[in-house]
Structure 1
Amino acid sequence: MGVLDEEAFEAAMGADPDAALTLLASMASATDEKLRRAARRLAARIVLDLARKGIALGRGVGKLRSVSADRGGDLDVDASLDAVLAGRAERRAPYVEDLVARQWARPELALCLVVDRSGSMGGERLAAAALAAAACAWRAPGDHAVLAFAREVEVLRPMGSDRPAAAVVDSVLNLRGHGTTALTAALAAAAEQLERTRAARRVVVLLSDCRTTDTDDPVHVARRLSELVVLAPAGDTEQAADFASRSGARWAPLSGAADAPTALRELLG
């Protein structure tokens, strides 16, 4: 009791990654406290490593750029020195358009992951959700949010937060399935999160079978999103395919938990 053999787990990952990840996610909610803590520590490390291998870092981070000072920004004294000296030599103030400033460029990409926790939330679904969260963190490290929903929407990481990816993965692994599927409210909450970012591209990533219990059709909210991609569990994709078709979203089935980073990469392009 309370023992997790990491060497045995690595061997299991080599033989069947999906089964190993599903088992690890299940152990992350074990009744034995010592085993539960060990499993969650290992799960966070494994999940982040898998996501890092499949997703390029940095596409969501704003970068400093040099612009003319008349366009705003913080003065770059070193780069503006020639203009300052020229003005002094001519006994005048330097022309503002000759000065150089530094500005933060808009990040290229912002992501909001929306995890459906209604109904059953077993090991495979938990592992897929954790991997999707880690993949979003690596794809857009500065501009991503993670939400979970059933009847209510829970914010696991708000947009602009400095909460580390490992902590978010741990929160995902702690999710328990229950309740109805309020997809309309979840998509509306995702839209609100994306309004907080300056990113040029804003994408909602929905991890769900899209079997909603809403009285209002969520397609109306989905069509107002800038971009929507859907990851659906393989073998239960009929509702997701229909929802994606009606809302103009792109979608892909998840053949297993380990498939999440690759499926996300292909959907985002």
Structure 2
Amino acid sequence: MGELDHQALQDALGEDADDTLTLLVAMASATDENLRRLVRALAPRLILDRCRTGMPRRRGVGRPRNVPAHVGGELDIDASMDAIATAAGEGRPPALDELTARDWGRPELALCLVVDRSGSMSGARLATAAVTAAACLVRAPREHAVIAFARYADVLAPLQGGQDPGRIVEDVLALRGHGMTSVSAALEEAGRQLAGSRATRRVTVLLSDCRSTDEVDALPAARALDELLILAPADDADEARRIARESGARVGEVVGVDDVPALLDRLLDPR
């Protein structure tokens, strides 16, 4: 019966994170049912925790402020005590506009990850997709979306769906490849997802080599986005660099699975 040695796994991550994460993803499809179940339960949490390590100050959460309760937010009992006491002394319930609420305001960052699932989805490529999803989720905890695409775009997690991050990473790990590639359709769906965002920055993260096979030019859709970051494989980044150059996007080249969080941070905060 299959089992996992957690200490050995941590040691392996310290020695070679790329190979270990890739192997862990492959084990999620193991024939041993018990091992497969253990890996599928562990992998999303491990990947999310790893993506939090060394993360800059969280951009995705807005700063809290006090507002009248009728505006919205969560009731601040401490700040409302005087109004509650006054109303009680007058023998009436307090009015909403007398109470104080805590509102987090607009989030600073919304991220929509767009994952290219055309072709083969296994090994390092699937691990890279899962790590990229986790990195996006922890950097934009309030507003994030995940889209997978081949010929058509499938929304795995809508922008304000409120899904558990571990479940989203698990869904990415379950992706299987398809044939055709429509970058344009995927970017158009990203634009639709981000259109409902309240965030100060609305950023699309495209994980792809950007080689469309549907003969539809992706540039109009790329240019229509507020902000586009492209993560392309280092050994096949020519088309991604071209689209970035002609659309005003920023592009980073993925060398290894474990490099993605730091690469995403550099693209989000270019200096």
- TM-score, length basis structure 1: 0.86
Structure 1 equivalent of residue 59 of structure 2: 59
Q: How many pairs are equivalent? A: 257
Trace 1:128-143 onto structure 2 (pairs within 5 A). 128-143=128-143
User: Which string of whole-angstrom CA distances, capped at 9 and with x for unpartnered residues, describes residues 100-144 of structure 1?
Assistant: 775542111100000101011121111111111111111110100
Structure 2 equivalent of residue 17 of structure 1: 17
Structure 1 equivalent of residue 250 of structure 2: 250
CA 1:66–1:7 in structure 2 vs 1: closer, same or farther (change >3 Å)? closer
Within 2, Cα distance between the matches of 1:168 and 1:245? Answer: 31
3-state SS of 1:155 partner: strand
Q: Which moved more, 1:258-267 or 1:210-219?
A: 210-219
CA 1:217–1:33 in structure 2 vs 1: closer, same or farther (change >3 Å)? same
| Percentage of matched positions with identical amino acids | 53
Structure 1 equivalent of residue 261 of structure 2: 261
Structure 2 equivalent of residue 92 of structure 1: none
Are the equivalent residues in 1 in contact too, given 2:110–2:140 (CA < 8 A)? yes
Structure 2 equivalent of residue 2 of structure 1: 2
The question of 1:120 aligning with 2:120 is answered yes
3-state SS of 1:7 partner: helix
CA 1:79–1:7 in structure 2 vs 1: closer, same or farther (change >3 Å)? closer
Q: Which amino acid aligns with 2:28?
A: A
Q: Which runs of 5+ in 1 are unaligned?
A: 86-95
3-state SS of 2:128 partner: helix
Structure 2 equivalent of residue 47 of structure 1: 47
Give how far 1:196 is off: 1.5
The question of 1:159 aligning with 2:159 is answered yes
3-state SS of 1:223 partner: helix
Structure 2 equivalent of residue 88 of structure 1: none
3-state SS of 1:154 partner: strand
CA 1:45–1:80 in structure 2 vs 1: closer, same or farther (change >3 Å)? closer
Give how far 1:59 is off: 2.2
CA 1:72–1:21 in structure 2 vs 1: closer, same or farther (change >3 Å)? closer
Structure 2 equivalent of residue 109 of structure 1: 109
Structure 1 equivalent of residue 233 of structure 2: 233
User: Which string of whole-angstrom CA distances, capped at 9 and with x for unpartnered residues, describes residues 36-87 of structure 1?
Assistant: 22222221122011111133464222343235x6x955797946969xx8xx
Are the equivalent residues in 2 in contact too, given 1:135–1:261 (CA < 8 A)? yes
CA 1:106–1:116 in structure 2 vs 1: closer, same or farther (change >3 Å)? same
3-state SS of 1:54 partner: coil
Within 2, Cα distance between the matches of 1:231 and 1:143? Answer: 20
Within 2, Cα distance between the matches of 1:31 and 1:182? Answer: 33
RMSD: 2.6
Q: Which amino acid aligns with 2:111?
A: L
The question of 1:223 aligning with 2:241 is answered no
Within 2, Cα distance between the matches of 1:245 and 1:29? Answer: 39
